Amino acid sequence: MGGDTIAAIATAPGRGGVAVIRISGCDAFAVGEKIAGTLPKPGRFGFRQLAADDVLVLAFKSPRSYTGEDVVEIHSHGGAVVPRQILKLCLEQGARLARRGEFTERAFLNGKMDLSEAESVIELVDAKTDRAAEDARKRLNGEKSLVYRALYETALALSADLEHALDIDEGELPDGFMAAAGARMASLADALMREIRRAETGRMLRDGALVVLAGPPNAGKSSLMNALLGRHRAIVSDIPGTTRDSIEEYLDLDGIPVRLADTAGLRETADEIEREGVRRARDLIAAADYVIDLAGNVHTKCDLGRIEGKLNVSAVTGEGLDELRRDIASHLERSPDPGPTPSEREAALLTEARRALVWHEDPVLCANAARDAARTLGRLTGAEYSADILASIFSRFCVGK
């Protein structure tokens, strides 16, 4: 547990009906009593009058709290002034201002959650769609941690068995022992690859997928963007070269957050501004997760006539829009498994562990490979961690979380 007591405003800044000031640590109850008088019994709530506001006070006794420490929460009216005044009282009574993510970091250090679960807290806060939030909730509930612990224990067991066999007699390993060890290593590598493949879906759920409308001038890109968004966002004109810069808007597509980008028409032009727009369009196309190619696979004016072999869509009547949405979603959906996805940090560790699992005829090298993979996998949940790892993760949090 933390050796000192921390406090922070746990709710987002700005205008709001309610604010929460959180105090955690060995002196949390003492600080709370100096501010609000006698505290309610743990698990109960009580109303108190402070100089700053009439507040609701809750007390949580260690270890039955978010951080695993004694915790006091003061619920006041929101806004900029009142919460700041109450926080000032907390600091005057001996608490210090919490660092970014320090409440969740203490929850990890006190065994209330592992690193994968802790990381999912910020992903839940930042979720852009219901599906992204559900993915983060499943990780927070430990579904991903069960998978990671199983992978870690598998690598650990393989390493231990190889080392044990070598301790007995390296020169007289049982018949078939190395072949069986190789099969176990290959099975573990396959399991790691399945998780690595799922990471791309996770990236899009967290950061959004880039979907780019591309094609020549007057192909209907801006009209299609407006139709997909359900509102007029891009300027539509019969004059070629109207769109000279890229326009991005957010779209929820079957639970995947999408950055939908309208781009300048692709053509050779002497106009310097339009030429820069074309260059930017090509950059976006190169970076896209999916390109709606109006010069190739999509025809946007099927109300004026259909084209065989293309996805026929009408921005005027709406015909074909649902089919287009399904086509985009199916291409973005990299993993059919509905389970939670790895974070970027976890994907990097999974990749590192798989690279370590190199089969060797030499059982000593094979044991070393399994041990290296196990150590890397231990960092997924925090079975192995360092101060640098914690700083990297919790620095992404806001103060108060």
- The predicted model gives 335-360 an average pLDDT of 88
Q: From CA 298, how far away is CA 303, in angstroms rounded?
A: 13
Higher confidence at residue 256 or residue 354?
354
Q: Give 396's DSSP letter.
A: T
pLDDT at 236: 55
Name the average pLDDT for the chain: 88
Cα–Cα distances (Å) from 139 to 115, 132, 135, 281, 351, in that order, read 10, 11, 7, 37, 19
120-135 residues labelled b (16+ CB within 10 A) or e (exposed): bbbbeeebbbebbbbb
DSSP symbols for 74-140: EEEE-SSSHHHHHHHHHHHTT-EEPPBTHHHHHHHHTTSS-HHHHHHHHHHHH--SHHHHHHHHHHH
Q: From CA 61, how far away is CA 41, in angstroms rounded?
A: 9
pLDDT at 1: 44
Q: Which of 264-273, 326-335, 354-363 has the highest mean pLDDT?
A: 354-363
- The predicted model gives 12-24 an average pLDDT of 91
pLDDT at 334: 67
pLDDT at 245: 64
Ranges of each domain in the chain: 6-113, 125-202+340-384, 207-332
Q: Look at residues 163, 162, 192, 198 and name the one whose alpha carbon lies nearest to residue 373.
A: 192
Residues in a beta bridge with 248: 261
Q: From CA 99, how far away is CA 84, in angstroms rounded?
A: 16
pLDDT at 336: 55
Q: From CA 314, how far away is CA 224, in angstroms rounded?
A: 8
| Tokens at 20, concatenated | 């929460």
Q: What CATH superfamily is the domain 207-332?
A: P-loop containing nucleotide triphosphate hydrolases (3.40.50.300)
Helix (H, G, I), strand (E, B) or coil at 232: coil
Contacts of 372 (CB under 8 A, 6+ apart): 353, 356
pLDDT at 379: 94
pLDDT at 178: 86
Kindly tell me if the per-residue pLDDT of 26 is higher than 70.
Answer: yes
pLDDT tens per residue, range 55-88? 999 999 999 999 999 999 999 999 989 999 999 9
Q: Are 240 and 265 in contact (CB under 8 A)?
A: yes
pLDDT at 85: 96
pLDDT tens per residue, range 93-140? 999 999 999 999 999 999 999 999 999 999 999 899 998 999 999 999
Question: What is the dotted CATH code of the domain comprising 125-202+340-384?
Answer: 1.20.120.430
pLDDT at 76: 96
Cα–Cα distances (Å) from 222 to 225, 234, 261, in that order, read 5, 5, 10
pLDDT tens per residue, range 129-175? 998 999 999 999 999 999 999 999 999 999 998 888 877 765 677 77
Q: Look at residues 397, 373, 363 and name the one whose alpha carbon lies nearest to residue 166.
A: 363
Q: Grade residue 299 by pLDDT with cuts at 50, 70 and 90.
A: confident
Q: Grade residue 220 by pLDDT with cuts at 50, 70 and 90.
A: confident
| Tokens at 220, concatenated | 């209907």
- The predicted model gives 305-324 an average pLDDT of 87
- The predicted model gives 370-393 an average pLDDT of 91
Kindly tell me if the per-residue pLDDT of 244 is higher than 80.
Answer: no
Q: From CA 388, how far away is CA 27, in angstroms rounded?
A: 27
Q: From CA 62, how far away is CA 297, in angstroms rounded?
A: 61
The total number of residues shown for the chain amounts to 401
Q: What CATH superfamily is the domain 6-113?
A: Probable tRNA modification gtpase trme; domain 1 (3.30.1360.120)
pLDDT tens per residue, range 223-239? 888 888 886 765 555 55
pLDDT at 241: 53
Kindly tell me if the per-residue pLDDT of 337 is higher than 80.
Answer: no
* Global pTM value: 0.80
